[in-house]
Amino acid sequence: MFGFSAPIALLMGFGMWTLPPSPRWLLLRAIQGKGPLQEYKEKAIGALSKLRGRPAGDKVSEKQIEDTIISLKTAYTDEEAEGNFLEVLQGPSLKAFTIGGGLVLFQQITGQPSVLYYAGSILQSAGFSAAADAARVSVVIGIFKSLMTAVAVLKADDLGRRPLLIGGVCGIVRI
């Protein structure tokens, strides 16, 4: 039953194998000094032409690559020196780090991921006699969770993230 996804995964793997490298990634490697700019520029023009369905050496692709090089050089030279992990525990980052870490912690504490992982065993213990029945119900639970996640993604901005977060936390605390 779980093997139904294998053909899709193989198709995606084959599709990814045939994709050319990202032109922006190629240029970034050259700007970071990981190879000669001219070589990576030619590869980027070829990759962009292939992705856009244009003939190799197309002037529009060359112009886009030149613009991207300028943009990357500006961004790469304007970057500050790399920070360290301790910066997360200071200043304005601390609040975001605390909230994000707390959400992950409380998600694990509530046991929701464990329930999904062991849904088949839990359902068998709850009275489903066959493992196949429990597996089917687990799939239904997964589909329902996926649908509700899609609804949440579409509605999160309309309803506001903060009220949804506070409501969810209140629901967890109440249970």
What band does 81 get if pLDDT is binned at 50, 70 and 90? low
Which residue range is the domain that position 159 belongs to? 91-174
Residues 103 and 156 reside in one and the same domain: yes
Pair 96, 155 in one domain: yes
- Residue 58 forms part of a structural domain: yes
State whether 35 and 110 are in the same domain.
no
The answer to whether residues 66 and 104 belong to one domain is no
Choice among 80-84, 105-109, 125-129, 169-173 with the minimum mean pLDDT: 80-84
| Phi and psi torsions of 57, nearest 5° | 80, 20
Is the pTM here over 0.85, yes or no? no
Residues 37 and 99 in one domain: no
Burial tier of 88 (Cβ tally within 10 Å: 0-12, 13-18, 19+) = middle
Total number of domains constituting the chain: 2
Query: Do 107 and 159 belong to one domain?
Result: yes
Q: What is the mean pLDDT of the chain?
A: 83
The CA-based angle 101-104-106, given to 5 degrees, is 105
Q: How far is CA 103 from the centre of its chain?
A: 18
